[in-house]
Structure 1
């Protein structure tokens, strides 16, 4: 078993299982970029360990329809289009819509809880779990080497909106039969107690919408069907119409309604273009952008770059939790909206969201019900994985049987014993526009320098034999200083340095370029305490 993503991070979930030379993959998700990765759209798992073995892949099991579990499927299927996809009806519908944009027609097998399927040496059994998206599944994977239970993302809401509970009876039966390795969602492992009920959010949303004097904008994940359902119901109860904003929100909710997962009250949903004709106190916008993504609807509203202009008396509800690493971006959007006069309601000042992940108390129940021989926490940053491992040990699993690893760890399961046998060196694969994997960490470093320190270019034409400057040096800067006159002092230094280099026998254009770079760099660092990107261009004249 090799996790290619999802360990030490919240996202990029992907785990590869191998038996008898055949491979099974569980989830192929994306990670969203951090602020120190400018220009990057998505981050993919590193497929390099399986790139030359794609013909051995028997199938991809998708536990649920969130981007951090399905978002990278198109990029893997580009390498081999006919890998079968297994998942629930909603999960596969969301994946198929995504693949359609990439012009890929997938091979799919719809499965549901209680169903068993054999893929080569892998005997699969699917178990219902409750999460913040309908139709989530855990998967039991059995081979002659033992049984692995992978939860995917889950919680144990005892009064779920759709009535679909995490099937603890199936967990107990699997535990009786014997679970050799338990791969368990760790996202809330460091949160004590139990995750609050999803249905506790409905009355709060209804109360906020009832009191709102003007327009209401609710931001959530574009796949959070339960939250959209609650917003539709609250709007209907107070005579408001709902308009969906954002391409992914419109697409996903259309799929959810078509499959029967979203019940739209008659006449409540309207086209966004017609919403502007309604009185301000009769409309609710349901949008994307709850994580502060710069190109999502809510951030564009905060920056006055959207046709919906936020104003005094508008109410904005952020109905989602913060993904670790997104805090600054979200608070930037909150501040922007507040400055425009909006009343911003979020998890910090009202109960408008509950997590989709099991807290420590729920995880302990699972460990006690399953009594697995070995545990390996997945899906979480390192603090989450360590907290989950501690819960496993508290429930009686020996420390020697608890594995806390990072992406690329190689774990062998044999005769009920799991042990670490290797570690692969994996990297990040960046999606930047239409390019995949062409952006390196060095490129990102250059981008960070450009964004923080600025850019200076120096152009000069030099007689390489005499060192005499035929033209220039001409110096141009961006993001460094408003007036290029600040460089008047350094131009004589560049002339002098080039002349001295020629007198000392330096006639190579590249070497002269480095002389210019060092001269300007030393001056900028000494005089301005800055380290901009310096691009010298020296031409032989």
Structure 2
């Protein structure tokens, strides 16, 4: 098995007739999915998603792939193929299209509809190419064939990419639900047919590779959802992903059968459900869905609110309700249903949300205590089934944290794939396919790009470290007046602390440390004495003293004024 190593260097020029594959996101993380294929001097992109921030990303709204590697070659991009309409696969498009607005976006009917409404908010009118299962289209040197896959959102597609270097099969996000709510199953016959033709490189969804067996069918959730409606005496507040149309359909069906009215809450929820309804993906009985202001006038036992915020996002509707910062208040006897999974990294935020809602008197129903959600991703049994159908020559597990990628790789090997042909890569690792063999060729930059409001890329890993230090340890500013001729203190330094618990007398030892550091430093103007820069000297001295004395690391700023 090939695992990437940190000492990888910039890859050489792509060999004639070879295909290069590099993920700019989605390897080692759940989100930010973006894979670039290079052949014949042209680039094809599959997906362009976002990663949602965790607690160690204070102030960050979204995390994007780093477009640096393709920025100088943006005119070589022949298309962006979109496997489905989840944010971790399409959320980065508004930012990519700032680089070049006319890149063709290729996707299914629903996926493109979601994209168009999203891009409208960014005042971008995209160039789109609608495709469906069974379609085959060429974009530059890439011959693409699309296959139906079942996922937690309708209209998901896998894509087979044929080039002169061989065929790549990218599953996108998928599972093998044999009883899907929309009747659209994963095209296993198509997978087998491609396997007979010869799949040179297989990129397979790894999210549930650690989970044994097969993923439960969506239909199996109906009894648990119906139980919530049958036993709740007051209001029902349901939180789900704004793109989870299948789950919303189940909720609407239960609400209708129990005589409750429904209101959608949250901009993305209202927008996406309107789109799905208009295109016929969401079946809504007449009069079932009404405005939430009208819904509030009805008796509690007749109401259902469907909102965003199932991952504990601080600005989403459910979190604002829990913080009493929303027009809808959670009351004693209400039931809150979290109809979603726990995305890795969001556990703390979700459990905090559950505790807050419980403290307000609500009954909280979630995946941990009821069968109200199933994954949209293939479990180990399904992945093994696919490996046996496709029989790929080379395997690159995608879409998952390192442990998921490793588990998927292990499954591939168990089905007979040569361990030397199974590659566990990380974002930015380049893999070259030539003569039927995939090898690691190098590493390119593929870091996180942070979005904060209107600012893109302004925040850095270092600035986020400073924010965490400010939040945990506070800040100290040192004001020192120094004689520029002698380099000595003229007056006792002043210390201004925020978030750092102290008394002014606590800093007396720090003053001594500053005096010693200045005395031992090169003096200003002395020949051969080096550069005189007292501010970083003072900041470093105070920082070392604080760490020794208090075992804390506040942000230290030194301001020096010449006497």
The answer to whether TM tops 0.5 is: yes
1:490 alignment counterpart: 507
1:538 alignment counterpart: 560
Cα offset, 1:524, TM superposition = 3.2
Q: Deviations over 1:365-410 (max 9, x none)?
A: 1111112222111111111111111111111111122111111222
Task: Determine the C-alpha separation between the residues in 2 that align with 1:493 and 1:84.
Answer: 61
1:102 aligns with 2:122: yes
Alignment of 1:420-459 (within 5 A): 420-459=440-479
Alignment of 1:18-417 (within 5 A): 18-417=38-437
User: Given the superposition, is the C-alpha separation of residues 525 and 499 from structure 1 closer, same or farther in structure 2, using an over 3 Å criterion?
Assistant: closer
User: Given the superposition, is the C-alpha separation of residues 186 and 468 from structure 1 closer, same or farther in structure 2, using an over 3 Å criterion?
Assistant: closer
User: Given the superposition, is the C-alpha separation of residues 464 and 429 from structure 1 closer, same or farther in structure 2, using an over 3 Å criterion?
Assistant: same
Cα offset, 1:47, TM superposition = 1.3
Task: Determine the C-alpha separation between the residues in 1 that align with 2:538 and 2:83.
Answer: 57
Task: Determine the C-alpha separation between the residues in 1 that align with 2:532 and 2:453.
Answer: 33
Task: Determine the C-alpha separation between the residues in 1 that align with 2:432 and 2:541.
Answer: 56
Contact 1:45–1:428 under 8 Å retained in 2 = yes
Contact 1:469–1:495 under 8 Å retained in 2 = no
Contact 1:465–1:502 under 8 Å retained in 2 = no
Task: Determine the C-alpha separation between the residues in 2 that align with 1:496 and 1:128.
Answer: 69
Comparing 171-180 and 153-162, the one that deviates more: 171-180
User: Given the superposition, is the C-alpha separation of residues 163 and 487 from structure 1 closer, same or farther in structure 2, using an over 3 Å criterion?
Assistant: same
Q: Give the alignment partner of residue 7 of structure 1, picking from 27, 41, 55.
A: 27
Task: Determine the C-alpha separation between the residues in 2 that align with 1:333 and 1:503.
Answer: 54
Task: Determine the C-alpha separation between the residues in 2 that align with 1:480 and 1:532.
Answer: 7
Task: Determine the C-alpha separation between the residues in 2 that align with 1:470 and 1:305.
Answer: 52
Cα offset, 1:134, TM superposition = 0.4
Contact 1:494–1:516 under 8 Å retained in 2 = no
User: Given the superposition, is the C-alpha separation of residues 507 and 413 from structure 1 closer, same or farther in structure 2, using an over 3 Å criterion?
Assistant: closer
Contact 1:314–1:342 under 8 Å retained in 2 = yes
User: Given the superposition, is the C-alpha separation of residues 467 and 498 from structure 1 closer, same or farther in structure 2, using an over 3 Å criterion?
Assistant: farther
Cα offset, 1:471, TM superposition = 7.2
What residue ranges of structure 2 are gaps of 5+ in the alignment?
A: 1-20, 526-530
**Partner-residue secondary structure (3-state), 2:69:** coil
Task: Determine the C-alpha separation between the residues in 1 that align with 2:513 and 2:405.
Answer: 59
**Partner-residue secondary structure (3-state), 1:347:** coil
User: Given the superposition, is the C-alpha separation of residues 198 and 477 from structure 1 closer, same or farther in structure 2, using an over 3 Å criterion?
Assistant: same
Contact 1:490–1:520 under 8 Å retained in 2 = no
Task: Determine the C-alpha separation between the residues in 2 that align with 1:499 and 1:538.
Answer: 16
For normalisation by structure 2, the TM-score amounts to 0.91
Comparing 303-312 and 508-517, the one that deviates more: 508-517
For normalisation by structure 1, the TM-score amounts to 0.95
**Partner-residue secondary structure (3-state), 2:129:** strand
Higher normalized contact order (CA 8 Å, seq sep 6+, divided by chain length)? 2
Comparing 422-431 and 309-318, the one that deviates more: 422-431
Aligned residues: 538
Q: Deviations over 1:37-76 (max 9, x none)?
A: 2111111112122111111111010000001111111111
**Partner-residue secondary structure (3-state), 2:547:** helix
Comparing 378-387 and 170-179, the one that deviates more: 170-179
User: Given the superposition, is the C-alpha separation of residues 421 and 213 from structure 1 closer, same or farther in structure 2, using an over 3 Å criterion?
Assistant: same
Q: Deviations over 1:152-188 (max 9, x none)?
A: 0000100000011111111122122221111111100
1:528 alignment counterpart: 550
Cα offset, 1:276, TM superposition = 2.0
Contact 1:464–1:502 under 8 Å retained in 2 = no
Cα offset, 1:492, TM superposition = 8.1
Task: Determine the C-alpha separation between the residues in 1 that align with 2:434 and 2:489.
Answer: 73
Comparing 348-357 and 42-51, the one that deviates more: 42-51
Cα offset, 1:522, TM superposition = 4.7
Task: Determine the C-alpha separation between the residues in 1 that align with 2:378 and 2:521.
Answer: 70
Cα offset, 1:18, TM superposition = 1.3
Contact 1:29–1:67 under 8 Å retained in 2 = yes
Task: Determine the C-alpha separation between the residues in 1 that align with 2:71 and 2:358.
Answer: 48
Task: Determine the C-alpha separation between the residues in 2 that align with 1:119 and 1:252.
Answer: 29
Task: Determine the C-alpha separation between the residues in 1 that align with 2:359 and 2:346.
Answer: 20
User: What RMSD, in angstroms, separates the aligned Cα atoms of the two structures?
Assistant: 2.1
**Partner-residue secondary structure (3-state), 2:557:** strand
User: Given the superposition, is the C-alpha separation of residues 235 and 455 from structure 1 closer, same or farther in structure 2, using an over 3 Å criterion?
Assistant: same
Comparing 497-506 and 163-172, the one that deviates more: 497-506
Contact 2:232–2:335 under 8 Å retained in 1 = yes
**Partner-residue secondary structure (3-state), 2:225:** helix
Contact 1:467–1:499 under 8 Å retained in 2 = no
Task: Determine the C-alpha separation between the residues in 2 that align with 1:96 and 1:429.
Answer: 23
